[in-house]
Amino acid sequence: MKYAFILGRVYTLSVAELLAVLEKTDASLNLTGEPVKILEASEEILIVETEKPLNVERLQKKLGGVIKILEVIDVIKKREQDSINFALKHYFKPSVLKKQFFKEYKGKMQFGISIYILDMALLQRPQPNPRDKNQGVYNSVFSEPKRVGMMIKNALTDAGQSIRLVLPEYNSLSLASVVVTKNLLLQKGAEICILAAQNNIFTAKTLAVQDFEDYGRRDYQRPVRDEKQGMIPPKVAQIMLNLSGCKNGNTILDPFCGIGTLVQEGLLLGFRMIGSDINKAAIKGSEQNLEWFRNRYKIAPGKYGVEVCDAKNISGLIAKSNQKVSAIVTESTLGPIYGKYPTPVEIQKNFKDLEKLYIDSFGDFNKFLLKGARIVICIPAYRKNRDQYEMFPNLDFAKALGYNLVDIISPAIVKRYKFLKLTSRNTAIYDRKDQIVAREIMIFEKN
């Protein structure tokens, strides 16, 4: 089976999470633990081949960094000079569409069309119009969704099918998950996807889309929010938890849990969770949020606990809980929130304060973490410009305490796919364009 995964905005983190999940043994997802065979990849999409069909609905709910999961139907050869619609002009016959792409539906069917780019050079040059013998007229690739969509609609209309076409917005190539969901495309027909490279085209259909409404509910409808301290988004929390390497039912600790985002997302992924924070108000908020969450998502009692505790003395709490902690997944304090870029003196002071906190905390973690256990952690990185950050100066403290920094994506994959954006120490940055303090996400492993 061939599947295509549409990646989130911070695509490097999406790839890291996806590979971490797909290479685990998980019977509920039909994963065997074998290395993933990657067929193609770009900033938008990753195409893989698996030995067995995946449990796509369950997998989509598990992945914070994947927008859609597609089933790849065919691969069509394409000459470099051909436009996308020209390469597909003989492909979309009514019999192929009804058998391979469309779900049976009584009533007026509807479908959407999305194009994803595997070779970004296709976005940088105009596409020739094969119908123009002189090749004097050029069409932007952004006209292709309408051209391909109308080609499919006309074929089905000629075959007697009543059908409605949903197209991407102007100057966009693909449909957002909200559009697919609101138009009930997966229930009333299909979203047909074209994955375009220079010399071939993958045709695919969407099997599952990210539930944007549920992510919004888990973020904005909780009883307690704390905008002043900054909150890790649920999607990023999911990604970090998936990078922990833990199995269903394992216990994960968040020693800087704040109002409980990582704890709630861990529960939804099937982990047992322990949360702690030195801030009493944060724990009170966490308790309120998790009670709401437990009732809303039918979480069984006894799956989590949160308490006031200093991360530097967390081993006492773990001993009292009598639980074996398989991993730590946490966002440590990111320090002050700035409206303008801080001075070098301020940044170095923040890093020095954090280093002391990390030394004390990681030292205490040593008392209960077993060999091979991971710490997945966010630490602050100060954004200088689009791709430059002032990052924590060195990680010698972790090595001295018996932890190795783990590559968030293997060097072989990084070497193969140049579009991946990683720091010099193979960690990943998550930020938003309006934020000064970004998150550097890194993985440590206990020796």
Q: Is residue 219 part of a domain?
A: no
Last residue of a domain, one of 153, 185, 210: 210
- With respect to residue 49, please indicate whether it lies within any of the assigned structural domains: yes
- State whether 295 and 148 are in the same domain: no
Domain shared by 348 and 375, yes or no: yes
User: Six-digit token pair at 421?
Assistant: 């954006």
Judge if 13 and 123 occupy the same domain: yes
Residue 385, pLDDT score: 82
What integer pLDDT is reported at residue 246 of this predicted model?
Answer: 96
Domain ends where: 178, 210, 242?
210
Domain count, the chain: 2
Residue 70 lies in a domain: yes
pLDDT of residue 123: 77
Same domain, 346 and 234: yes
CB 172 within 8 A of CB 49: no
Q: What is the pLDDT of residue 134?
A: 42
DSSP label at residue 118:
S
Distant-in-sequence contacts of 222-228, Cβ < 8 A, 24+ apart: 222/259, 222/289, 222/292, 222/293, 223/285, 223/288, 223/289, 223/292, 224/259, 224/285, 224/286, 224/288, 224/289, 225/259, 226/258, 226/259, 226/282, 226/285, 228/337
CATH number at residue 395: 3.40.50.150
* Cβ(230)–Cβ(219) below 8 Å: no
Same domain, 133 and 191: yes
- The reported pLDDT for the residue numbered 34 is 86
Is residue 119 within 8 A of residue 196, CB to CB? The reply is: yes
**291: Cβ–Cβ under 8 A, 6 or more apart, which residues?**
none
Whether residue 268 sits in one domain with residue 406: yes
- What tokens appear for 61 in the block? 């709910």
Are both 193 and 260 inside the same structural domain?
no
Residue pair 19/219 in contact (Cβ under 8 Å)? The answer is no
The answer to whether position 220 is within a domain reads: no
Q: Is residue 239 part of a domain?
A: yes
At residue 37, the pLDDT reads: 93
Q: 414 lies in a domain?
A: yes
256 and 391 co-located in one domain: yes
142 and 269 assigned to the same domain: no
Q: Assign residue 42 the CATH number of its domain.
A: 3.30.2130.30
| Radius of gyration of the CA atoms of the chain, in A | 24
pLDDT digits (tens, 9 = 90+) for 236-253: 999 999 999 999 999 999
Domain boundary (210, 234, 258) is at: 210
Q: What is the pTM of this model?
A: 0.93
What is the DSSP secondary-structure string of 350-376? HHHHHHHHHHHHHHHHTTTPPTT-EEE
Q: Are residues 429 and 399 in the same domain?
A: yes
Q: Are residues 262 and 320 in the same domain?
A: yes
Distance CA 339, CA 342 (A): 9
Residue 259 domain-assigned? yes
Within a domain: residue 190? yes
Are 160 and 235 members of one domain? no
Element (H, E) at 156: helix 144-158
For residue 28, the enclosing domain spans: 2-210
Q: How many helices and strands, by DSSP H and E, does the chain display?
A: 15, 21
Of the candidates 110, 170, 119, the residue with the CA atom closest to the CA atom of residue 146? 170
- For the chain, list residues with pLDDT below 50: 127, 133-138
